[in-house]
Chains A and B, each alone.
Chain A
């Protein structure tokens, strides 16, 4: 085979490899997630973050508007401190609430934002105070079983 044709083929081969890597990065690995780098930062303290992870989505009404960048522990209040980056075009009133919900029964957890109605908006670095932590299914089942047991105990006592 001619040398020139080989050079061409090798060039195409290397370009194909680079193209594959770029597509993998953008389409599969979501490297475009750094779009939120320009966003502003909000904090929120939760009693329980469940299985929330960094890079979990932050949503309003199901639409993703940011992502969780850091999860830490507040040593004074013993609450889980979640740091989020929010898209700069979304301004949130200062009485906005945040909850941790689960997508479906087994899906991943995300931060759901309930916008408030106050005229002032959060500035970057502010902390959301109205929060509701993740629902602990174990605890819920425990309570249900306990109340069931208590209920049946009462009814058998009446007989």
Chain B
């Protein structure tokens, strides 16, 4: 009997998910394109970049610094057995630029800014502010959603570049003064093995993709939340969980595509 119930359930889920994805895509596109709408305000955009980007800066810098330092210790531990500590700089730089920088930035951003975004939009919906805007012929996509989406898309690559740099600096502080790796070798090996377009820009491109995905999911979960106190809470949780899992999955696909 359970089997018999499972099959229509599967069909129902599919029928819900596939058009849902379509509606979410239309939501993303029309929000992004509403920069041309007269209700889009650059002042709002700057306010959101301040909220998402500038105020996440301290979290990112601390996280990056510790990530880099741990990479230094751990990489040294693995490499010293083969007498290959000269490759430590390359190891730290490539790990940060290609994987850890974009992914950790996106995960932290989903927790720090994505959750706030979902909670804000969903409680606006719960208190019928979005409906009120429509009553006043103000497009809520242009006034509320678009500045937040664009702010996320602009902030994440910038945060990622700062994360990479601080992380490498943290790794340097552990490798060279603490563990005694030669400073010249550290930078020279890094420079001869890291390419600008292949590693640095591709990593930032990844961060850009994650920025789109995280803010899209956060805004969409907020916009479709049930307009109750419980609905707001559920939407916020779901936003962080879905965004984090999507970032991890997308990272695998992007790594396979970009670095193969």
Residues of B within 8 A of A12 (CB): 54
Say yes or no: B200 contacts A30, CB within 8 Å.
no
**Chain A residues within 8 Å of chain B by Cβ, number:** 30
Chain B: CB-nearest residue to A107: B86
Say yes or no: A24 contacts B165, CB within 8 Å.
yes
Say yes or no: A27 contacts B50, CB within 8 Å.
no
Say yes or no: B158 contacts A29, CB within 8 Å.
no
Which 3 A-B residue pairs are closest in the complex by CB-CB distance? A17-B158, A30-B191, A29-B196
Within 8 A of B (CB), among A5-35: 6-7, 9-10, 12-14, 16-17, 20-21, 23-25, 27-31, 33
The answer to whether the Cβ of B190 comes within 8 Å of any Cβ in the partner chain is yes
Chain B: CB-nearest residue to A56: B192
Q: What is the CA–CA distance of A1 and B86 in the complex, to the nearest angstrom?
A: 49
Supposing A9-B50, A10-B46 touch, asked if A25 and B165 sit within 8 A by C-beta, the answer is: no
| Selected A-B contacts with CB under 8 Å, 29 pairs | A3-B43, A3-B46, A9-B54, A10-B46, A10-B49, A10-B50, A13-B57, A14-B158, A16-B57, A16-B158, A16-B162, A17-B158, A17-B162, A20-B161, A20-B162, A20-B165, A21-B204, A23-B165, A24-B164, A24-B168, A27-B191, A28-B168, A28-B191, A29-B194, A29-B196, A29-B200, A33-B191, A57-B192, A106-B83
Within 8 A of A (CB), among B140-168: 154-155, 157-159, 161-162, 164-165, 168
Q: What is the CA–CA distance of A29 and B199 in the complex, to the nearest angstrom?
A: 8
Chain B min CB distance to A112 (Å): 16
Q: In the complex, which range does the number of interface residues on chain B fall in?
A: 35 or more
Say yes or no: B190 contacts A28, CB within 8 Å.
yes
Say yes or no: B194 contacts A28, CB within 8 Å.
yes
The answer to whether the Cβ of A104 comes within 8 Å of any Cβ in the partner chain is yes
Within 8 A of A (CB), among B167-199: 168, 187, 189-192, 194-196, 199
Say yes or no: B199 contacts A13, CB within 8 Å.
no
Q: What is the CA–CA distance of A125 and B141 in the complex, to the nearest angstrom?
A: 61
Partner of A7 from the list B46, B155, B162, B204 (CB cut-off 8 Å) is: B46
The answer to whether the Cβ of B93 comes within 8 Å of any Cβ in the partner chain is yes
Partner of A20 from the list B43, B47, B54, B164 (CB cut-off 8 Å) is: B164
Chain B: CB-nearest residue to A21: B161
Partner of B187 from the list A10, A17, A27, A33 (CB cut-off 8 Å) is: A27
Residues of B within 8 A of A70 (CB): none
Say yes or no: B47 contacts A29, CB within 8 Å.
no
Chain A: CB-nearest residue to B196: A29
Q: What is the CA–CA distance of A105 and B87 in the complex, to the nearest angstrom?
A: 13
The answer to whether the Cβ of B259 comes within 8 Å of any Cβ in the partner chain is no
Q: What is the CA–CA distance of A21 and B192 in the complex, to the nearest angstrom?
A: 18
Say yes or no: A6 contacts B57, CB within 8 Å.
no
Residues of B within 8 A of A55 (CB): 192, 195
Q: What is the CA–CA distance of A107 and B189 in the complex, to the nearest angstrom?
A: 9
The answer to whether the Cβ of A37 comes within 8 Å of any Cβ in the partner chain is no
Chain A: CB-nearest residue to B191: A30
Residues of B within 8 A of A33 (CB): 191
Chain A: CB-nearest residue to B93: A28
Chain A min CB distance to B171 (Å): 11
Say yes or no: B97 contacts A28, CB within 8 Å.
yes
Q: What is the CA–CA distance of A23 and B204 in the complex, to the nearest angstrom?
A: 14
Supposing A13-B54, A14-B158, A17-B158 touch, asked if A31 and B196 sit within 8 A by C-beta, the answer is: yes
Q: What is the CA–CA distance of A107 and B164 in the complex, to the nearest angstrom?
A: 25
Chain B: CB-nearest residue to A31: B196
Say yes or no: B165 contacts A29, CB within 8 Å.
no
